[in-house]
Amino acid sequence: MQLLTSRCIHHVRSTGLAVAYVALSLAAFFKPGGLYAASPELKYLTPPGGQRGSTVRVTCIGDFSWPVSILAPGVEVSPCDESGKMELSIPDNLAADRVWIRLYNAQGISTAVPFLIGTLHEISEEEPNNSPGNAQAVSDESVTINGILQKRGDVDGYSVELTSGQTLVAAVDANSRLDSPMDAILQVATVAGTVLAENHDAVGLDPRLAFTATKSGNYIIRIFAFPAKPGQKIFFSGDDDYVYRLTLTTGPYITHTIQLSAPQTDPGEVELFGWNILPGTTLPVVPFGGSTLANYVEHESPGDLRNAPNDQLGLVFGMGYAGCARVRLVSHTVTSSATTSLTTSNLTAQTDRKDAMELPPSNTVTGLLRTPGQTDTYRLPLTKGQHITIAVESQNLYSPMVPVLRLNDPTGAMAAEVSETGPPKDAVISYTVSDDGDYLLIVGDRFRHGGERYFYRLTVRVEEPDFELFARADSLVITPDKPTEFSITVKRRGSQDGEVGPIKIAAIDLPAGVTSAAVASQPTGPTSTEVKLVFSTTGPAYSGPIRIRGTVDQPKEIRHFARTPPKHAISFEAIWLTVLVNP
């Protein structure tokens, strides 16, 4: 039996992968009454995030034997002697708003747990702080607080000093980005307890608000929560896993950008949108993860018609700015419209159907329903036989807009119409063009609402022959005694030019002693939608990432890697392989 090295290697870097190797004892390898011990279980981390350029002491909460190996792409990790403790060093230029932490041993790997990355100074919650009289004083004008609602009825309070006219932004990350089982409420109150502002469910179940003080003095920011999964009783809830990050700032806070997409070849700069940001302020778009996360870059959920298989993610962030924004990087045209600028009130090009903006496919534009009842109109020059996808995204971007989408043909008759299409309530039309000519696309809000935050991303794309591969799991365990099957789902995308031909699907980056024969997905028949790879081993124990690649030659050469099941609406290309050996 091959064991991992018995010494601890600190601060390991390898193509963006930081891994700490630690000893595994025979007791950890053998399972009482069975052949193998269990793989580690990681539930959550405290604190659940850290500041760029800092080193954070983190506690792992779960079921595991310490020491254990740690997978932490994007950061440097140093395991501590104390069980469950480690230090994470975050690069000051890390182009990511989160990284994913996993624990593994010779038997397998845990699920991935998010660790959020911020730009502000960070502090920890200090108890007791559950009443206005003992609220924790916060002296920093911009800070992120890591806290826990530890028990039923817990209310955490923070005291801040504001001057008249100052705008305080308060934002919570808990359920939506940390899987914390809480539905939080955020309030701004006077020291006497009078509620001045409140928010609930701004970003999924997480609250976010901006409060402008009308007079100078102390204000109390308090957070409490209900269970994310409601029951028959109503009460303030809390537990050890009710972890949260509360950002408080009177400085700039980024919520999103205009544009919401950028070209892959030259992303350039985009205008910032949020609170306490001067109009016209811009920051560059950088590829998500950069070289640090080259092997573990996040991808938007696969199989979604709203984006093409080769779309990528970009990030907009800056030191001194709270918050950040994700931007989609696309290979087609990104149209910049003057009507989407935050500094102009000219809406004619989109609201006047007689002078609608021309948007030839494939193209993406950012829109904004500034006023209640507003509808935006676009003129689409289309060709008979084109297979087009039209998508309006807002809800998945945390815009309050509930989109309605209508497509009229050149005669003025309705060709297609769709309201929100289930989670995340965005509107998508898949349409084969019946006649040449100019089609009118009308975009509105289902409830005829509007305002400065009713923004959306509109994509009109001609579908081309393509495919996507989806792994059924993000990890695989194989043993010497029998071959192991691993299922891959195949999704083909067609167009007027036909569909892709046979797809060769093969596992790559396999370790010594592990074999897996390539398989073919044919255009028709059972293998057109699913194939099974078979893995066998005659080699030593192994723990590490592999990838599964699909290659097609017709009608053109295309290569894609299988992506893992979505988690927080993202997926990865790396699949973790564990090779067991007979004891």
pLDDT, tens digit, for every residue of 98-144?
Answer: 999 999 999 999 999 999 999 999 999 999 999 989 999 999 999 99
Distance separating alpha carbons of residues 76 and 56, to the nearest angstrom: 10
In a domain, 425, yes or no: yes
- Do 402 and 293 sit in the same domain of this protein? yes
Helix (H, G, I), strand (E, B) or coil at 427: strand
Distance separating alpha carbons of residues 198 and 183, to the nearest angstrom: 14
- Do 85 and 129 sit in the same domain of this protein? no
Strands 387-393 and 427-432: antiparallel
Distance separating alpha carbons of residues 446 and 163, to the nearest angstrom: 40
* Reported confidence tier of residue 344, pLDDT bands at 50, 70, 90: very low
Residues 576/39, Cβ–Cβ less than 8 Å? no
In a domain, 5, yes or no: no
End residue of a domain, out of 73, 95, 118: 118
Q: Nearest to residue 231, comparing CAs of 147, 149, 152?
A: 152
pTM of the model: 0.90
Total domains in the chain come to 4
Position 234 scores a pLDDT of 81
In a domain, 7, yes or no: no
- Do 401 and 493 sit in the same domain of this protein? no
Residues 377/355, Cβ–Cβ less than 8 Å? no
- Do 228 and 303 sit in the same domain of this protein? no
* Buried-state track 296-333, b at ≥16 Cβ within 10 A, e below 16: bbbbbbbebbbbbbebbbbbbbeeebbbbbbbbbbebe
pLDDT, tens digit, for every residue of 164-185?
Answer: 999 999 999 999 999 999 999 9
On the question of pLDDT at 310 being above 90, the answer is no
- Do 450 and 326 sit in the same domain of this protein? yes
Which of 41-50, 340-349, 554-563 comes out lowest in average pLDDT?
340-349
End residue of a domain, out of 192, 217, 251: 251
Residues 376/440, Cβ–Cβ less than 8 Å? no
pLDDT, tens digit, for every residue of 50-86?
Answer: 999 999 999 999 999 999 999 999 999 999 999 999 9
- Adjacent-strand bridge partners of 329: 262, 312
Helix (H, G, I), strand (E, B) or coil at 175: helix
In a domain, 8, yes or no: no
Residue 409, domain extent: 256-462
On the question of pLDDT at 463 being above 60, the answer is yes
* Buried-state track 20-34, b at ≥16 Cβ within 10 A, e below 16: bbbebeeebbeeeee
- Do 305 and 430 sit in the same domain of this protein? yes
On the question of pLDDT at 14 being above 80, the answer is no
End residue of a domain, out of 447, 462, 477: 462
On the question of pLDDT at 29 being above 90, the answer is no
On the question of pLDDT at 32 being above 90, the answer is no
In a domain, 205, yes or no: yes
CATH number at residue 173: 2.60.120.380
- Do 212 and 295 sit in the same domain of this protein? no
H/E stretch holding 348? helix 348-351
On the question of pLDDT at 18 being above 80, the answer is no
- Do 110 and 136 sit in the same domain of this protein? no
- Do 231 and 145 sit in the same domain of this protein? yes
H/E stretch holding 545? strand 542-552
- Do 143 and 275 sit in the same domain of this protein? no
Q: Nearest to residue 308, comparing CAs of 330, 325, 327?
A: 330
In a domain, 371, yes or no: yes
- Do 446 and 339 sit in the same domain of this protein? yes
- Do 260 and 247 sit in the same domain of this protein? no
In a domain, 11, yes or no: no
On the question of pLDDT at 20 being above 50, the answer is no
In a domain, 48, yes or no: yes
Return the residue matching tokens 């939080």: 184
CATH number at residue 110: 2.60.40.10
Helix (H, G, I), strand (E, B) or coil at 402: coil
The DSSP annotation for 388-418 comes to EEEEEE-GGGT----EEEEEE-TTS-EEEEE
Position 302 scores a pLDDT of 63
Position 351 scores a pLDDT of 65
